[in-house]
Amino acid sequence: MSLILPTKLAKQIEQILARLRHEVQAECILLADIGGRLISAQGRIQDIDPVLVAALAAGDVAAMTELTRQIGEESYHGSFLHEGESKSIYLFSVANSFILIVIFRADTPLGLVRLVGGRTAAQLSALSADFEELAKESHEVPSGDFGAALADELERTFGRL
């Protein structure tokens, strides 16, 4: 199941994440898919490994989805929070397909993050419905020689290991 993010859509997502970051003064904001792939990142990402955070957040949401199923809920639509001593994380499910990850200072009002984060998740959810269409409109595809060039690079990097 491939996901192609054309430049135009990537910019739209970045703008939405940047606005959220500004409104809640978050350290950083990430958008991942439920498979754990990092889609977009905004803010002080040099302090974290955003790819790893995306993978772990997807694991968390997957576990929560399974937990809710165990108590008889059909699917998980909500959000959840880790309150840390200096930094906290809020995860919002976006259209059951993506995860909005907000990392913020612990002194930020939780209600603000919940309110603005929830609103942003709804906005991303509406946008995600167009993902497929926007991706189809894009004419950006890897060049024909990408596969061969990658095979050469893999051989060069891993060939003697």
Partner 1 sequence: MFINWKLREINLKIVYYGPALSGKTTNLQYIYAKTAPNIRGELVSLKTRGDRTLYFDFLQLELGHIAGLKPRFNLYTVPGQVYYASSRKLVLQGADGVVFVADSQEQRLHANVEAMHDMEENLRALGYDPRAMPLVLQCNKRDLPGIVPVPLMKDQLGFDGVPCFASVATQGTGVFDTLKATINLVVVQTQRRL
84 near partner 1, rule: CB under 8 A: no
109 near partner 1, rule: CB under 8 A: no
8 Å CB contact between 129 and 111: no
8 Å CB contact between 24 and 102: yes
Q: Which 34-53 positions form the footprint of partner 1 (CB under 8 A)?
A: 34-40, 49, 51-52
Own/partner contacts of 60-63, CB < 8 Å, gap of 24 or more, are: 60/91, 61/34, 61/91, 61/93, 61/99, 62/34
- The Cα–Cα gap between 93 and 101 comes to 9
145 near partner 1, rule: CB under 8 A: yes
In the complex, minimum distance from the CB of residue 95 to partner 1, in angstroms, rounded to a whole number: 15
Q: Residues in contact with partner 1, total (CB under 8 A)?
A: 48
Contact residues for partner 1, defined by CB under 8 A: 1-7, 10-11, 14, 33-40, 49, 51-52, 55-56, 58-59, 62-63, 65-66, 138, 140-147, 149-151, 153-155, 157-159, 161
